[in-house]
Structure 1
Amino acid sequence: MRNKYVVIDLETTGHSSGAHDKIIEAGIVVIEDNEIVKEFSSFFNPDIPIPPFVSNLTGITDEDVREAPIFSERASEILSFFEDGYLVAHNVPFDMGFLNAELESNGFIPIQNPVIDTVELARVLFPQAPSFKLGQLAEHLGIRHEDPHRALSDAEVTAKLFLQLIKKLEKLPYETINHLLKLESNLKSDLYQILKEREQHLAFSPYEDKNIDTYKGLAFKPIEDIPVTRENAEISFGDFLDDIYEKNGKLHQKLINYEKRAGQREMSETVYDAIQTGKHALIEAETGTGKSLAYLLPAVYDAVKSHKRILISTYTTQLQSQLIEEEIPMLRGLVSFPFNAAILKGMQHYISLQKFERTLSSNQGDNYDTVLTKAMILVWLTETETGDIDEIQLPSSGYLFYKRVSTDAEDYSDPSSPWFARSYYQQARRKAQQADIIITNHALLCLDLFSGYQLLPSYEKVIIDEAHHLEETASKHYGLKLDYVHIQYTLSQVGSSSEGGWLGKLLAQDVIDASRFKNEKWDELFAKARYEADDLFRQLFQYVVKQQQNNKSLSDIGRVQYRFENEKEDKSQWNTILEMASRLMYYLGDLVQILSVSKEFSLGLNSERETEPKDITRITIALQAIIDSLDQLFLLNDETNDVKWIEIEAYGAKNAVYLYREPTEVSSLLADDFFSRKRSVILTSATLTMKNSFSFIQNRLGLVPDEIITRKIESPFTYRNQVQLMVPSDFPDIRKGNQEEFIYSTCEAILSLAQITNGRMLVLFTSYDMLKKSYNLLREIMDTNKYMLIAQGVSSGSRSRLKKNFQTFDQSILLGTSSFWEGVDIPGEDLSCLVIVRLPFQPPNHPIYEAKSNQFKEKGKNAFFELSLPEAVIRFKQGFGRLIRSSADRGIVFVCDARIIQARYGKFFTGSIPDVPITYEPTKILMDKAEEWF
């Protein structure tokens, strides 16, 4: 059995083996002694029609299976393959479920063989793979996949994948195998025999690899610092740019079909001028400029020449990784001098080896996702050089476990600790200290700013990419967020004195002197705090439900929002809430007091328990932070410029409540604490202007117009030839209460355009409620066998997962809300049509907008033109930019909202995007034109 693996793949009429769906094709590959020795393939007549979407996916038609045998005729032959072997499949529950359903229905005994799921095993052994779908895994590992979605081809690819997985397993060190063995019983795959043999082999033939370090039974790649190289840039900046950009320059030599972009060099020169003259700059670089390289070149040149580091900040960690993994290596091949670049993220991104090692001692009570997460991390640690968790895709609830083992949950303030030298976060900090270029993100930049500049190495010059997000990020860091799950998670981490949690273990191990610890008092307060938290958040939920009729606002993910002001709330109900908040703070305060005293007589002074007193400090700080947040939300007066609001999951748990507090403006804070203290701040984005004016972003960020350089870099794309902007003149007017009719017209237009573009369509909504209604209507009126309909918040998965699914299917329609308006790159024919359902104005009763709007009114200003319109225009530009990502792209932007033509402010939208042909006609004429144009 140990050397025989039977790989199976089935094609079926649907996804449900327990219903009426049947097998239409089976492919089997037998592996013995790591060699493929036998194959089997057969069609089966399911005696029911094959659905069109299955035929489209597999190419198998009713004609193909008409003369095929029924399953029972070859069942015995299929069963014979599995004698004394493992059953291997890519998603075992699917294939084994169908196989056993067919066997049982035909009077055969179902298969009971040990199983190996290559999806699960690939997640464990190739944790850094971009996807775990068979086709994408095969591409990642260099396995040829000749005929996807055909049983024998898929079985062959799965077999080759399995052989690669076994090879990978045989390269793992003893310590990793040993820990995997302890986790194996909670995995779906029967790996015990394979892992045990590997462990025994290593016991007699020790694993020797200079690239693997071990400590306390944990194997990981050694943490090493890159040596610093220092060399001057002797060439002048003009000659430096000539050597890269001009004819016969490095870009022409290194990039095939490179086309010079005048705007790229112009941007490089503007950035350098700002850095040299010590000025701040606002640079709008339209799509296609190549702004990353444009700002990196002057940054690297100046940092090396002046021996002073330059900071680069991005909004997304995705762009941060792209800069360090793609742009910086390319840059090294372009410049003639060495330089050091480092990436630095917040502590929560880096794993703590110490914390992780301690969690491995007990797997009791771990759910499947936690076990899988532990297994993935064990293998990843033998590969990673950074310890940055963004390198791998954890299962959804695995991130809850990861929070417990991130560096954010650790205290590395003691350099004498043996774990200090093995800290990925400290390594990242050391590299950043030595770097000419530090690449960070807005979140850490703002956290550093509001922490008195203690987190990032000192810097005088900074380039802020995706700068239109700086105000939003700063507001969130000046504000606070508190929710029920966070409070209960913090409390459950601590536990009562009798539970098997953190506190119980400290008492059991005599880290805290049990004879002096007030167990009964702690347990009483702990129970009251938990109860009070639950009661408070349930009460808040009910309060919002009662108030929402008059103050209803929906977030972009469908939560009900309610802005509150302590002085103006309904006293009869609000006073009860304030009393509950006060009681919760009181109980938490008493818990903090007990922990503080406990730390003083903590016995954890030997080397084995060196971090326990620090753990007590960490938990104390976490509990105190909750107290401070409750105080700021409910008990402090409302005289500040902050806005406070509650969000509830309308159809979620009765304590699914989120509390927020944010300042309504951060311009003065940024002006005083940031811009006035830095020599040069360059802010760049594809969307900073409204009708070529930077005034809005200047005002929101607190920049003085006379003291900054502004530049708008035109796109090299020929938008007039690449884009058609179409606006229907015959849609119902939603402002007159015709929402249902408007949604119906929108869905009809989506379907008509889909037929013209073969799907490949992104539909952007401003309202989650409208997205959901449109999704449900589209499901009713469209041929779901022809188009793959994917909707944010409805279809499962993250934004990147939905995007990948969209690109995987030939005829896809993707519906998205706010987060899809930017940062989603779908180049080429994958995206041919962009539908913008409504102009992206904030709802007037959105808590933040409402508070900001009132401030403008108090100053005698027009909130619509000063705030609402500029924000909507910038958001519209972001959405418009999704369509054209290269000079070869072409497509249609279909705007369902006629205000872009009819309203007097419509010209602000059309005047802020590139010059494109605009057609305003009845829908039928637009469809005819679209078909002709494509």
Structure 2
Amino acid sequence: MDRYVVIDLETTGNSAANEDKIIEVGIVVIENDQITDEFSTMLHPNKSIPPFITKLTGITDKDVEHAPTFEDMADTIVELFENSYLIAHNVPFDLGFLNAELSAIGKKRLTNPVIDTVELTRILYPQAPGFKLGILAEYLTITHENPHRALSDAFVTAKLFIKLKEKLSSLPYETVLHLLKLEKMLKSDLYQLLTERKDALAFHVPTDEEHITFKGLAFRNNVLEKRKSVTLTSSFGEYLDSIYEKDGAMEHHMKRYEKREGQRIMSEETYDSFQSKKHALIEAETGTGKSLAYLLPSIYEAVKSEQRIIISTYTTQLQSQLLEEEIPLIRKLVSFPFKVALLKGKQHYISLEKFANEVNSDQQDNYDVALTKAMLLVWLLETETGDIDELHLPSHGQLFYKRISADTEGQADPASPWYKYSYYQKARRKAQQADIIITNHALLCTDMFNEYQFLPSYEKAIVDEAHHLEETASKHYGLKLDYVNMQQVLNQLGSFGEGKWIEKIIFDNPSVEDSISKERWNDLYALTKYELDDLFRTIFQYVIKQHGSQKVLSDVGRIQYRYETRKEQENNWLTIREMATRMIYYLRDLIHLLTMLGQELTDKEIKEDVHHKIEILQSFIDGLEQLFLLDNDATDVKWIEIEAYGAKNAVYLYSEPVNISSILAESFFDVKDSVILTSATLTMKNSFSFIQKRLGLRSERLSTKKIPSPFSYKDQVRVMIPDDFPEATYGKTDDFITATAEAILSLAEITNGRMLVLFTSYDMLRKTYYLLKEAIESENFVLIAQGISSGSRARLKKNFQTFDQSILLGTSSFWEGVDIPGDDLSCLMIVRLPFQPPNHPVYEAKSIEMKKNGENAFYELALPNAVIRFKQGFGRLIRSTNDRGIVFVCDARIIKSRYGNYFTESIPAVPIAYDSTANLMEKASDWF
């Protein structure tokens, strides 16, 4: 069968089961990979079309007034599908509607073989930025004349399918074989297409140098270039002149280049610190162009001194920006070659060996795992890095990926046949040869606290987004245990009779069968699982029963409870300690049995695997001892988080050092030649003393520099603060939330939406969202809320930019790193000043410690943290010289309190209006 019929429908809603009806049909016929026919018709739905469908499609009740009904056209439509595949971009939707309408008039449902282009694109273009039709049309350069109209969408889907068929016919034999094995689990009927490709390749001698085939797996052949040594003849000043000054490289390679004074100053400051072996704190306000400003001296210094330099960022977003935008630009700006490598933690890289074992095994997969395997098979033909962050895996695919990440491999073994293909080892080798290594704070800290064994050795580093270093270092020096993770590890081990890991080891190595008592293992395993359940349920109940200040809601809605090992007096706590001790005892016994098994094994890889499992169980023991049995309350803060409405054992346990500054000083700043710490937000009231103290930087080896923004804030921004909002006292926020919702609506009318509203509490965000949802009767505004609207932060941002009149409500992660330049954002509302709750576990422990030392925790910890966060939020609004906007701060403490000026004097000088809400709305309206 070589006839494919593509269908797209417009309907009155999303669900045929809810009596929604088809209002437009678009059909395109493909034969011999050519579009040969088309058909379209409007249909009368016998009901009125909802306004939002009219807004989306442009189809009105008037358009369908004289249209035929579905019954009139049913035979014509069905006839088109004879002896063909049915293709749609989301088959369940289109075929579901078609069959519901056919059943309703007593006709036979369609049973054609189907191909779903959403699914097939996920498999064949796994690195696409998204799988909606519009996004794919842009990504694959298919013209899309009329989105959300049936015939136009059908044409785009048809062209997409022709591209997919083309891509399929480029796949190598091994990949096709594995896809055939997965095919029966997929929604699309791909058997014929895959078999044709397999048959075409059967007698074909591969001349393909692009791919390697090993143990039944085909993957891209990535060759590592050797490093060339370079001699630099120009001085650093001449080098900068040739880039920044008149007729320099910047002018030639950047459109509309305007010289920014601060950018060159930052480059010089960075280079001077390298030369004098000093550390530096550089605050570069928005618009400085700080990435370029620190990269230029770093590359010059690394190449000249032949010593690599580390660049660490907090977000993967900034890493991508450096690699995809800044580095290619610098290659044009400088006259010498240099090498850059990205290095992440092991868990980011796929293990080819583990994946080959999975695809070669005979186990039955569920849909998500089958789809994930199919995506990975094609991705391996394309990826140079093996970094899983290049893909958008389905949600259950993430769990499958955990089983095959390089993190599960144990110690690297150069004698293993897979070693030379390992992506993680390649990334390490590439990093060894690079001038610049880009990494993240997490790996930087892991390396720092593990005697520098993860990153290649270095003496100089740039830490961007440096306001996050303290928090990341604390997390990595501390520990986290949670029920779900421990449960998963135990489930993977399994008992005899379940066909899991332990049984497979014995099955594959029958000679060691007698080295482990199956009955003893099964008894111990059952006891450990029971104890784990019991321990975490008891902890959950204990937290629920506690009252008072130690119990607070986190910004993601979890209940947090801080405890001190020696102060918890209740009998229930003693029970918890006894249970933790029993749990440790059982885990030790499991380790003992695994050690005996490991001694009998001869296969090196399997031995490694057993050793890796022992290490994980040992880390659970260390964690339980640290959290419940050791008296380390003076140095560590410990707390429990529970999902208030989650399962009765959804429990997370944490421990962090109360003060990381001395650890950072000893492990990092005292042993490195020069560390440059930069961010747009390091100062409070122009002073660096807060961040210097928190990070443990000694004054004698430190230089500081504040570089102002080149933007004209006084012309581009107005700050407005209402003087008539109700007080938002703890527990009594309803009136305040109502006033906030009303202000959002009034401002949205003035700015046509395009508003970002930042909350400090998820609870307040949720309540405001539902108030707004009731109030927004008209279809005027699109409301998008973090944690309520589905999708990642990047997806929510994209939706916000797609709809003209949208309002985006965000909490914690939206306060920074979200760039929405230009007209997409005209108004930023800050609902409350971003203080952490005073009873947040870490803050509370730190403030107790500070009081003991005679320090003022509010002025020396809470306030500086809030000011830095406020500056981050404020920075969302103006991202270029052409942006204009309003910052509306609902919290009058910024004017009324004795500490308010710390906030206003830490942002650029801008006109501030403090007035009634009504007057502010008038001013806003005039200004726009």
Counterpart of 2:820 (choices 811, 815, 826) is 826
Letter of the structure 1 residue corresponding to residue 295 of structure 2: L
Where does residue 110 of structure 1 map in the other structure?
Answer: 109
Deviations 1:473-493 (A, max 9, x none): 100011000101100111111
Q: CA deviation at 1:736?
A: 7.3
Letter of the structure 1 residue corresponding to residue 815 of structure 2: W
With over 3 angstroms needed to count, the CA separation of the structure-2 counterparts of 1:33 and 1:911, relative to structure 1, is: same
1:673 equivalent to 2:672? Answer no
With over 3 angstroms needed to count, the CA separation of the structure-2 counterparts of 1:188 and 1:282, relative to structure 1, is: same
Where does residue 278 of structure 1 map in the other structure?
Answer: 277
With over 3 angstroms needed to count, the CA separation of the structure-2 counterparts of 1:365 and 1:483, relative to structure 1, is: farther
Q: CA deviation at 1:533?
A: 0.7
- SS of the residue corresponding to residue 495 of structure 2 reads coil
Distance 1:218 1:211 in 2: 14
Moved more, 884-893 or 548-557: 548-557
- SS of the residue corresponding to residue 523 of structure 2 reads helix
With over 3 angstroms needed to count, the CA separation of the structure-2 counterparts of 1:679 and 1:583, relative to structure 1, is: same
Letter of the structure 2 residue corresponding to residue 647 of structure 1: E
1:316 equivalent to 2:315? Answer yes
Distance 2:797 2:366 in 1: 29
With over 3 angstroms needed to count, the CA separation of the structure-2 counterparts of 1:784 and 1:695, relative to structure 1, is: farther
- SS of the residue corresponding to residue 231 of structure 1 reads coil
Native 8 Å contact 1:223 1:427 kept in 2: no
Where does residue 267 of structure 2 map in the other structure?
Answer: 268
Deviations 1:257-301 (A, max 9, x none): 111111111100100010111100000001111111100000011
- SS of the residue corresponding to residue 687 of structure 1 reads coil
Where does residue 720 of structure 1 map in the other structure?
Answer: 714
Native 8 Å contact 2:179 2:374 kept in 1: yes
Q: CA deviation at 1:171?
A: 0.7
Where does residue 243 of structure 2 map in the other structure?
Answer: 244
- SS of the residue corresponding to residue 735 of structure 1 reads coil
- SS of the residue corresponding to residue 252 of structure 2 reads helix
Distance 1:919 1:906 in 2: 14
Summarize the alignment of residues 117-266 of structure 1 with structure 2, pairs less than 5 Å apart: 117-266=116-265
Counterpart of 2:704 (choices 703, 707, 710) is 710
Counterpart of 2:767 (choices 725, 748, 773) is 773
Letter of the structure 1 residue corresponding to residue 460 of structure 2: K
Q: CA deviation at 1:901?
A: 1.2
Native 8 Å contact 2:411 2:608 kept in 1: no
Q: CA deviation at 1:737?
A: 5.7
Letter of the structure 1 residue corresponding to residue 244 of structure 2: Y
Letter of the structure 1 residue corresponding to residue 889 of structure 2: V
Deviations 1:852-881 (A, max 9, x none): 111111112211100000000000011111
Deviations 1:592-646 (A, max 9, x none): 0100110001143xxxxx4111000000101111111011001111343210001
Native 8 Å contact 1:183 1:363 kept in 2: no
TM, length-normalised to structure 2: 0.99
Native 8 Å contact 1:283 1:712 kept in 2: yes
Q: CA deviation at 1:844?
A: 0.7
Moved more, 689-698 or 41-50: 41-50
1:636 equivalent to 2:635? Answer no
Where does residue 559 of structure 1 map in the other structure?
Answer: 558
Native 8 Å contact 1:511 1:602 kept in 2: no
Counterpart of 1:626 (choices 620, 627, 631) is 620
Native 8 Å contact 2:515 2:596 kept in 1: no
Native 8 Å contact 1:532 1:584 kept in 2: yes
Q: CA deviation at 1:553?
A: 0.9
Where does residue 890 of structure 1 map in the other structure?
Answer: 884
Aligned length: 928
Where does residue 349 of structure 1 map in the other structure?
Answer: 348
- SS of the residue corresponding to residue 190 of structure 1 reads coil
Q: CA deviation at 1:677?
A: 0.3
* RMSD between aligned residues: 1.3
Distance 2:251 2:689 in 1: 38
With over 3 angstroms needed to count, the CA separation of the structure-2 counterparts of 1:534 and 1:265, relative to structure 1, is: same
Counterpart of 1:909 (choices 903, 913, 927) is 903
Where does residue 435 of structure 1 map in the other structure?
Answer: 434
Q: CA deviation at 1:365?
A: 4.2
Where does residue 852 of structure 2 map in the other structure?
Answer: 858
Distance 1:638 1:152 in 2: 68
Where does residue 20 of structure 1 map in the other structure?
Answer: 19
Moved more, 406-415 or 588-597: 406-415
Q: CA deviation at 1:516?
A: 2.8
Distance 1:198 1:382 in 2: 16
With over 3 angstroms needed to count, the CA separation of the structure-2 counterparts of 1:784 and 1:438, relative to structure 1, is: farther
Letter of the structure 1 residue corresponding to residue 284 of structure 2: A
Distance 1:662 1:631 in 2: 14
With over 3 angstroms needed to count, the CA separation of the structure-2 counterparts of 1:781 and 1:585, relative to structure 1, is: same
- SS of the residue corresponding to residue 632 of structure 1 reads helix
Where does residue 583 of structure 1 map in the other structure?
Answer: 582
Native 8 Å contact 1:511 1:612 kept in 2: no
Native 8 Å contact 1:230 1:338 kept in 2: no
Native 8 Å contact 1:484 1:656 kept in 2: yes
Distance 2:480 2:778 in 1: 40
Q: CA deviation at 1:566?
A: 2.0
- SS of the residue corresponding to residue 213 of structure 2 reads strand
TM, length-normalised to structure 1: 0.98
Letter of the structure 2 residue corresponding to residue 15 of structure 1: N
Where do 5+ consecutive residues of structure 2 fail to align? none
- SS of the residue corresponding to residue 333 of structure 1 reads helix
1:697 equivalent to 2:698? Answer no
With over 3 angstroms needed to count, the CA separation of the structure-2 counterparts of 1:880 and 1:790, relative to structure 1, is: same
- SS of the residue corresponding to residue 645 of structure 1 reads strand
Native 8 Å contact 1:732 1:738 kept in 2: no
Q: CA deviation at 1:763?
A: 1.0
Native 8 Å contact 2:550 2:563 kept in 1: no
Distance 1:48 1:924 in 2: 43
Q: CA deviation at 1:208?
A: 3.0
Q: CA deviation at 1:501?
A: 1.3
With over 3 angstroms needed to count, the CA separation of the structure-2 counterparts of 1:498 and 1:512, relative to structure 1, is: farther
Q: CA deviation at 1:808?
A: 2.2
Deviations 1:561-606 (A, max 9, x none): 00111222242111111111111111111000100110001143xx
Where does residue 374 of structure 1 map in the other structure?
Answer: 373
Distance 1:207 1:779 in 2: 59
Native 8 Å contact 1:229 1:340 kept in 2: no
Where does residue 607 of structure 1 map in the other structure?
Answer: none
Distance 1:930 1:23 in 2: 44
1:756 equivalent to 2:753? Answer no
Distance 1:192 1:217 in 2: 20
Distance 2:583 2:510 in 1: 28
Where does residue 458 of structure 1 map in the other structure?
Answer: 457
Distance 1:376 1:34 in 2: 24
Q: CA deviation at 1:552?
A: 2.6
Distance 1:18 1:497 in 2: 46
- SS of the residue corresponding to residue 656 of structure 2 reads strand
Summarize the alignment of residues 339-738 of structure 1 with structure 2, pairs less than 5 Å apart: 339-362=338-361, 364-510=363-509, 513-548=512-547, 550-604=549-603, 610-735=604-729, 738=732
Where does residue 53 of structure 1 map in the other structure?
Answer: 52
- SS of the residue corresponding to residue 866 of structure 1 reads helix
- SS of the residue corresponding to residue 366 of structure 1 reads coil
Distance 1:126 1:885 in 2: 33
Q: CA deviation at 1:784?
A: 6.3
Distance 1:162 1:883 in 2: 41
With over 3 angstroms needed to count, the CA separation of the structure-2 counterparts of 1:249 and 1:511, relative to structure 1, is: farther
Q: CA deviation at 1:738?
A: 4.2
Q: CA deviation at 1:545?
A: 0.9
Native 8 Å contact 2:565 2:633 kept in 1: no
Distance 2:566 2:680 in 1: 42
Letter of the structure 2 residue corresponding to residue 53 of structure 1: F
Counterpart of 1:839 (choices 808, 833, 856) is 833
Distance 1:634 1:686 in 2: 40
Distance 1:421 1:219 in 2: 15
Native 8 Å contact 2:127 2:379 kept in 1: yes
Deviations 1:175-194 (A, max 9, x none): 11110111111111111111
Distance 2:648 2:730 in 1: 35
Where does residue 292 of structure 1 map in the other structure?
Answer: 291
Native 8 Å contact 1:506 1:512 kept in 2: no
Distance 2:362 2:549 in 1: 50
